[in-house]
Structure 1
Amino acid sequence: MSQVAMRDLCLGIQLKPLPAPQKRSPDVPHAPMRNVPLTKDETKIALKNALRYFPQRFHHILAPEFASELKKYGHIYMYRFKPFQPLKAYPIEEYPARSVQAAAIMLMICNNLDPQVAQYPEELVTYGGNGQVFSNWAQITIMNAGRKYLHLESLKGKVLLTSGLGGMSGAQAKAAVIAGAVGVIVEVNKDALLKRYRQGWLHEICSDLADLKQRIQRAKKDEQATSIGFQGNVVDVWEFFAKDAEESGELLVELGSDQTSCHNPFGGGYYPVQLSFEEANEVMIQDPPRFKQLVQESLRRQVAAIDSLAARGLCFWDYGNAFLLEASRAGADVGQNGIRFKYPSYVQDIMGDIFSMGFGPFRWVCTSGRPEDLDLTDKIACQVLRELLNSDVSDSVKCQYSDNIRWIEKASLNSLVVGSQARILYSDRRGRMKIAQAFNDAVRTQRLKGPIVLSRDHHDVSGADSPFRETSNIYDGSAFTADMAVQNFVGVTLRGATWVALHNGGGVGWGQVINGGFGMLLDGSKEAHQKAAELLSWDVNNGIARRAWSGNNYALDTIRDAMEEDPLLEVTIPHAASENDLCGAIDRFFPTKSP
């Protein structure tokens, strides 16, 4: 598409003439109706707020139209003003911007509204990162879960059972296969399942539990890596395998998790097993108290089935999606003690130590839109990682470098790109700085045909504060302290980020997390070379310092290494208290009272 065709996007709200009303497209999924019981006064405010974008001469046309949308969908989407141009990540030179930085921002926004990327594109609902790049955090999690729980380097013949294919959770299918496992991903929404199947993220689909059991048995026997999408409710699947294990004594599932959107359990994020998908969508709107009751009963049943399998050897972890939190609120036996449950958060058990070593989801986007550029960036990143692997680093860090070399070598073979030409690589401070500067050199010498945008997921070393996910393995009492993401937001701003963001939510739920993010354009200049090093160093070290202060040994080693490499970096190192000194003082001044 040419700049001329894209120019309408820069003209603001079209009023000359007022565009004709548009219907919702039947070819894309749509968000469930929002159940927001507004009073008459609140409804008036909602309409007033929507109409303030438009001159009064149009209000008699738009007011009833917007009121109808609010009544029908629970939100005013203004479908009349949908752009006629297909939105996706076009090559950066096609955006009619006054600077390449502005064009990069336009590219990123348009990519997130690509129907192949967004969950509900016409309702402007997307999951950050979904589609623009397959994130290898899921693969990293599964591989390290195999090491930690099963004491295995290979997951051949092992089964992961989880749920969710709609948003970021769609990564689970690819991740299981790359890790060598049999991935069974349950999805209640047929459209979401078929979308992932058509995109090639699922190898096969089925909807019969007996067929699923037989397929798993064959795959385990043949040690076949595959991804099976099961259409149905995940509670039915958990209960089926729990009953089967009880009757046969055979444990078919070794690893388990959940990626339903439990941060929004009563608004379409979790579907109760007692109802079909279509019935649930109706009850959600028509009878919210009953829907909540069914969801909570369903959560209790799911936990009971997981408990039964865990007693036989299943290893289950929480993905930080508020599953265990909502299960505890529903009255399920999850053994809650503060922010800890009987099943660990994957941050507490797996990712926390990886974050403490400085490894997290480093993202880049090839703004040229050329697959050849993405292939070249893969090769550049792999070369940097090999050099780092042969440097003087600890065995635990070398293990992470090896995993990421394996990932980046196979990335292009696994057809991971949906949307923009982009990649995520779990990298540490050294890796991010060296890879970024190598990319900038390749842009300068025109080996890469367009600028590179650097970014990362908010779910990173220091990008988010959340006591139920990112900071859940910080045990000094500060897990609820929400300042790290703000410090990052300010720090990357001062160090030359092209754009920054500070926001709430992010998969754990409003009020449960705060996130800071950024984007940075590499244009081949000397300024970009220097800014990349300074920004990325701060972005990682800020989180390592927080984790080191809480006493994490990996973080302590990592921040000491960083200070040796950078004489200007000074981080306060904690002095560990001995158990004897602690217990002696407590016993003296806080003696246990006799009953």
Structure 2
Amino acid sequence: MNKTPSASQTARLTVEQFLQEYASHPTYTPPPGTELHAKNWQAEAALRMFLNNLSKEVAEAPAELVVYGGTGQAARTPEDARKIIEVLLELEEDESLLVQSGKPVGRVRTHPEAPRVMIANSNLVPHWATWEHFNDLRKRGLIMYGQMTAGSWIYIGTQGILQGTYETFVACGEKHFNGNLRHKLLVSGGLGGMGGAQPLAATMAGATFLGVDVDPERIKKRLDTRYVHKMTTDYQEAKQWVLEAKEKGEALSVGLVGHIGDVLERLLQDNIIPDILTDQTSAHDPLNGYVADGISLAEARSLRASAPDRYKQRSLKSMARHVGIMLQMQSRGSKVFDYGNNLREFAQQGGEKNAFQIPGFVPEYIRPLFCEGKGPFRWAALSGDPEDIRVTDEALKKLFPENRHMIRWLNEAEEKVAFQGLPCRICWLGMGEREKAGLLFNQLVREGKVKAPIVIGRDHLDCGSVASPYRETEGMKDGTDAVSDWPLLNLMANTGGGATWVSFHHGGGVGIGYSQHAGMVILADGTERAERCLRRVLFNDPALGIFRHADAGYESAQENAEKFGLNL
């Protein structure tokens, strides 16, 4: 029996009442519980996740509609956000909303198993796909930067990248340190919406962690959400804490306020060479993301507005210096890797000709998982009740009792991860596993074991949904790093399969001109309709990862294609 509520079971608020209660700019809040505000759960799911992206517990700057990544927005303007909400509240099951770079532009006739929302963000014809052209359009209010999950309404706070970061650090430990990161110091820059996952991922993997950010508010947010243990503005104090913890083999994380380039230079002068060194500053955007050295955060913001060209050149030179120090540490034994923010490319533009001697994290550590169709499967409890996540965690452990790595991860996450906004979870699952998990969640909703429907999504950083030559598709075996047919096929397969909303973006993670990627979200509401869609989408989506890597010549992907019956 389907126990999800219908519109007739509740007295719906008027649009104005809903806006006043849940979406009075800049205060956005996803409504919890089982009451249906939209006309169907598909539109309700998109509505709640849109509002969750913009809630103050999740978003970096709700007043600017920025979710994460410096400029990654969920909607273009407050007026556009309001219109998106208004349309979702009235959207029928045979209609779909079209969103163009954060602006709702129309409704089209579809059917109940079609996506309720179709989103395209930041896409430019290749010849014009430059930051200069994008920023000109952005100044005129004609486009927005969607990042990856900001503009596709499935960002779940810092947890969203947590397991991927953990998997990367663990793989690094297995490759270089016999699987043991105790007594190892991991250093990185950037503790924002993405980089903020690093301290918790590092300590979960057993390492001692030092993270550096110029913005104290970002570190405070990680402190408040238990992602980082300690915070200081004093380099000497931070150094003492991490060196003592490393000596004792303690998994301690420290957030230091400062510029990463300056801190790395001081570490080098003090002959402190990190065992592992990476970076997750917002280097993908040299103008509005990365903070140049030698100036304060406030001065950087002022210079960006008054002299953008001069600021960008200063930023590029700062990145070159930053990477130059990383290369010195690499030459002295540090395991250094690029974590997908395009730091190497812009450092090269700034004058560091050897920037690409630093390897990327995907070819170095993650690609074998992609060949299995594995990636960041995530879900949100629309009820707003953390107990629903606990129920799904326990159900997954019973569903996959042989997956000890997953069980260990879920146990750690239950104990250490603080929710931001709606209670959510992320767990890397592969081909076959995702479909089983989705059907299980649909059953939990149908049987009333969770209080409201479950939204299932993933990062755009996934096995078959992105073309990004300096990140996910760097160094492909057959040289097809820049072929973006694959994310387009992913988008079409998930649209045809019946995802609840789909998206296609340009630039997320590494910046304008450097990537294209597709997003997918699907609802488990306990219905037979949802079951049909789940079976299709959660097969198609990871299958694209195996198709893509098998076609590129990876033997393990070819073996998995055979295993799952994916060969033509």
If the length of structure 1 is used for normalisation, what is the TM-score? 0.76
| SS of 2:66 mapped into structure 1 | coil
Residues 473/355 of structure 1: CA separation in 2 closer, same or farther (3 Å cut): farther
Which residue among 279, 286, 289 is the counterpart of 1:265? 286
The aligned residue for residue 112 of structure 1 is: 53
Alignment of 1:494-513 (within 5 A): 494-513=496-515
Residue 97 of structure 1: how far off its partner (Å): 0.6
Whether the 8 Å contact between 1:500 and 1:519 is mirrored in structure 2 is yes
**Does 2:181 match 1:184?**
no
Residue 304 of structure 1: how far off its partner (Å): 2.0
Residues 130/447 of structure 1: CA separation in 2 closer, same or farther (3 Å cut): closer
**Does 2:361 match 1:324?**
no
**Does 2:303 match 1:277?**
no
| SS of 1:364 mapped into structure 2 | strand
Q: Which is strand-richer, 1 or 2?
A: 2
| SS of 1:118 mapped into structure 2 | coil
Residue 9 of structure 1: how far off its partner (Å): 6.7
Whether the 8 Å contact between 1:118 and 1:130 is mirrored in structure 2 is no
| SS of 2:408 mapped into structure 1 | helix
**Does 2:270 match 1:244?**
yes
Structure 2: any 5+ residue segments left out of the alignment? 1-9, 69-148, 150-154
**Does 2:87 match 1:146?**
no
Whether the 8 Å contact between 2:158 and 2:196 is mirrored in structure 1 is no
Which residue among 244, 247, 254 is the counterpart of 1:218? 244
**Does 2:555 match 1:535?**
no
Letter in 2 for 1:112: N
Q: Deviations over 1:442-486 (max 9, x none)?
A: 111111111111111100011211111111142312211111111
Off by >4 Å, runs of 4+ in structure 1: 2-6
Higher RCO structure (Cα 8 Å, ≥6 apart): 2
Residues 343/6 of structure 1: CA separation in 2 closer, same or farther (3 Å cut): farther
Structure with higher Rg: it is 1
The aligned residue for residue 193 of structure 1 is: 219
Whether the 8 Å contact between 1:465 and 1:481 is mirrored in structure 2 is yes
| SS of 1:106 mapped into structure 2 | helix
| Two-structure CA RMSD over aligned residues (Å) | 2.1
The aligned residue for residue 464 of structure 1 is: 466
Residue 357 of structure 1: how far off its partner (Å): 1.7
Alignment of 1:355-366 (within 5 A): 355-366=370-381
Equivalent-residue separation in structure 2 for 1:404 and 1:167 (angstroms): 24
The aligned residue for residue 409 of structure 2 is: 407
Which residue among 63, 66, 70 is the counterpart of 1:125? 66
Equivalent-residue separation in structure 2 for 1:198 and 1:212 (angstroms): 18
Equivalent-residue separation in structure 1 for 2:555 and 2:252 (angstroms): 37
Residue 327 of structure 1: how far off its partner (Å): 0.8
Residue 292 of structure 1: how far off its partner (Å): 2.6
Equivalent-residue separation in structure 1 for 2:374 and 2:260 (angstroms): 32
Equivalent-residue separation in structure 1 for 2:466 and 2:13 (angstroms): 38
The aligned residue for residue 169 of structure 1 is: 195
Residues 130/334 of structure 1: CA separation in 2 closer, same or farther (3 Å cut): farther
Residue 218 of structure 1: how far off its partner (Å): 0.7
Whether the 8 Å contact between 1:95 and 1:107 is mirrored in structure 2 is no
Paired positions, count: 472
Residue 286 of structure 1: how far off its partner (Å): 2.2
The aligned residue for residue 253 of structure 2 is: 227
Q: Which is helix-richer, 1 or 2?
A: 1
Equivalent-residue separation in structure 2 for 1:434 and 1:301 (angstroms): 48
Whether the 8 Å contact between 1:505 and 1:512 is mirrored in structure 2 is yes
Which residue among 422, 425, 428 is the counterpart of 2:424? 422
Q: Deviations over 1:486-513 (max 9, x none)?
A: 1111111111211111121211112211
Letter in 2 for 1:501: S
Equivalent-residue separation in structure 1 for 2:26 and 2:306 (angstroms): 36
Letter in 1 for 2:366: M
Q: Deviations over 1:399-424 (max 9, x none)?
A: xx433221111111013311111111
Equivalent-residue separation in structure 1 for 2:337 and 2:523 (angstroms): 37
Whether the 8 Å contact between 2:225 and 2:418 is mirrored in structure 1 is no
The aligned residue for residue 446 of structure 1 is: 448
**Does 2:377 match 1:351?**
no
Equivalent-residue separation in structure 2 for 1:553 and 1:349 (angstroms): 17
Q: Deviations over 1:130-179 (max 9, x none)?
A: 417443111111111111232x2221121111111122221112111111
Equivalent-residue separation in structure 2 for 1:4 and 1:528 (angstroms): 23
Letter in 2 for 1:209: Y
Equivalent-residue separation in structure 1 for 2:404 and 2:346 (angstroms): 37
Q: Deviations over 1:166-204 (max 9, x none)?
A: 222211121111111112111101121212212222110
Whether the 8 Å contact between 2:186 and 2:276 is mirrored in structure 1 is yes
Whether the 8 Å contact between 2:159 and 2:197 is mirrored in structure 1 is no
| SS of 2:28 mapped into structure 1 | coil
Alignment of 1:430-579 (within 5 A): 430-563=432-565, 569-571=566-568
Residues 6/204 of structure 1: CA separation in 2 closer, same or farther (3 Å cut): farther
Residues 149/561 of structure 1: CA separation in 2 closer, same or farther (3 Å cut): same
The aligned residue for residue 5 of structure 2 is: none
Equivalent-residue separation in structure 2 for 1:132 and 1:102 (angstroms): 25
The aligned residue for residue 306 of structure 1 is: 326
Which residue among 364, 367, 370 is the counterpart of 2:385? 370
Q: Deviations over 1:56-112 (max 9, x none)?
A: xxxxxxxxxxxxxxxxxxxxxxxxx97169422322534521111111110000000
Residue 3 of structure 1: how far off its partner (Å): 7.0
| SS of 2:564 mapped into structure 1 | helix
